[in-house]
Amino acid sequence: MSTTPGSNCAPATALPRWRPALLIRLSVWWHAAVLITLIGRPAWWPWVLAALAANHAVLSLAVLWPRGCWLGPNITRLPVAAATRAEISLTFDDGPDPRITPQVLDLLDRYGAKASFFCIGEKAAAFPDIVKTIVQRGHSVENHTYRHPHAFAFFGMSGLRREIEAAQTVIGGISGRPPLFFRAPAGFRSPLLDPVLAACGLRYVSWTRRGYDAVRRDPPQILQRLTRDLAAGDVLVLHDGTRARTTEGVPVVLAVLPRLLEHLAAHGLKSVALPTACGDHLTPALTAAAAAA
């Protein structure tokens, strides 16, 4: 797939029929080649094993590269049209949380900002009223798996499908529309993920920048990471579903978010939900779903 300006890897365009990424195709060919070699030259087995190990090392690097596109299209920035409108997208992972998410929503309302919440299906099922409130306030709810398993990137295709489809069903049933976007736990992406996403009508999203607010406790440092070279078209990641706290006991995201929103306002940037930012690039059916949300 060709890329366009405003995206490091692939544009947020209409979903095509799934085609394996170049690295996946090369890996299949590589496995076939080494198998043929092993059949014809059994004594070369040490070299065959080394070749297979090298291939799997490259695949592992791709899995551990959240913003990479070796394993398939990856939205790391908004489309050019959104950047031209001075838009960025704030995204929140791992929620909803009954104590933190409502406060995040209040802060977003105070600054007139919209965002996308990548919710865990299990938590969405536990707190459906919060999910409904997210949508009612003009934000979008997206897919972040059903249970957020740490080993998600190493699941087989059936395991990936169960996690994604379960979250898709639960979130869609609560919010009124199925999610349009997906982000893997910790951003670690399985080589087998793309055909599952295509079957569910989902686009893969990572980010332009993140502040590590789920693991760090220094709001000024997190804010600096998020705002350094911040530009229109960026996709930022925060976490409303983590209990990380500052040394004073304040949830880190609540300490960082007001300052971040003030920074956006001071620099003429507007945060919008992903379906809004990418609406011109969605298929007609998905555009209608995004407009109805």
Respond yes or no: is residue 129 known to be catalytic: no
The residues pairing with 92 across neighbouring beta strands, listed in sequence order, are 117, 238
Contact residues for 87 (Cβ-Cβ < 8 A; gap 6+)? 78, 232, 233, 269, 270, 271, 272, 276, 277
Active-site position among 93, 194, 213, 240: 93
Is 93 considered catalytic here? Answer: yes
Q: With H, G, I as helix, E, B as strand and everything else as coil, classify residue 12.
A: coil
Q: Where are the beta strands (DSSP E) in the chain?
A: 87-93, 115-119, 140-143, 181-182, 203-204, 209-210, 235-239, 270-271
- Give 271's Cβ-side CA count (13 Å radius): 30
Q: How far is CA 263 from the centre of its chain?
A: 23
DSSP 75: B
Exactly one of 234, 239, 240, 281 is catalytic; name it: 239
Classify residue 271 as exposed, middle or buried by CB count within 10 Å of its CB (0-12, 13-18, 19+): buried
* Cβ atoms of 142 and 92 closer than 8 Å: no
Active site residues: 93, 239
